[in-house]
Each structure stands twice: as structure tokens, then as C-alpha cells.
């Protein structure tokens, strides 16, 4: 199985529209591990790890987001796999 890990930055109207909760629901449905959080600058950041085709499906979802979201841009960067990645969580930005 071809596993990948991708960090994504999502810009637009993506906070206050259930983006994190829906992202977690979709990632869990796809069997991915990682996390999602709001950033102070209004973007959403997420990390997805799992089978390549499922991560790619998640990235397509990120381009649209939940119904009330207005995604303007996503940036995706591949990262090194993490062995301790077991679940998908909503995390909180800490300065």
C-alpha cells in the first residue's frame, strides 16, 4: 500500500463554517490519520496521512469544503510519514 502524508493550508472563508468538524468527519470516513486546526490568520491547516488515493480524495474535498465555506486556495506539501499517526483530531493553535 502506497502511504503518503500531506500538510495543507486552506485559505478563504474557512473558519466559522464547520470546516474543521466536517474535515474530521471526512478524514475519519476515509480512514486517514492526522489533524486539523484554525490558524490565527484565518486559514485552516491540516495534515492527512494514509493511502495515496484516499489522501488525494481528501485534498479534492478540501478544495470545496463544507456547504458554507468559500475556499479560495489550497497549498499542499508532502511530508515524511509519522509512525505514531493513529487517529484524526481537531487540535488548537497554541502560540
Q: How many C-beta neighbours within 10 Å does residue 8 have? A: 22
Q: Is 18 a catalytic residue?
A: no
Could you say which of 5, 20, 43, 54 is catalytic? 20
Could you say which of 38, 54, 60, 70 is catalytic? 38
Gyration radius of the chain's alpha carbons: 12
Q: Is 37 a catalytic residue?
A: no
- CA gap 37, 33 in Å, rounded: 14
Catalytic positions are: 20, 38
Amino acid at each position: 500500500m502506497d502511504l503518503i502524508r500531506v500538510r495543507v493550508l486552506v485559505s478563504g472563508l474557512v473558519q466559522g463554517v464547520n470546516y474543521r468538524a466536517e474535515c474530521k468527519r471526512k478524514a475519519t470516513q476515509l480512514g486517514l490519520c492526522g489533524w486539523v486546526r484554525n490558524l490565527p490568520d484565518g486559514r485552516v491547516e491540516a495534515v492527512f496521512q494514509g493511502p495515496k488515493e484516499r489522501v488525494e480524495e481528501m485534498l479534492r474535498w478540501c478544495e470545496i469544503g463544507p456547504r458554507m465555506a468559500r475556499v479560495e486556495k489550497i497549498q499542499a506539501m508532502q511530508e515524511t510519514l509519522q509512525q505514531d499517526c493513529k487517529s484524526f483530531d481537531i487540535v488548537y493553535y497554541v502560540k
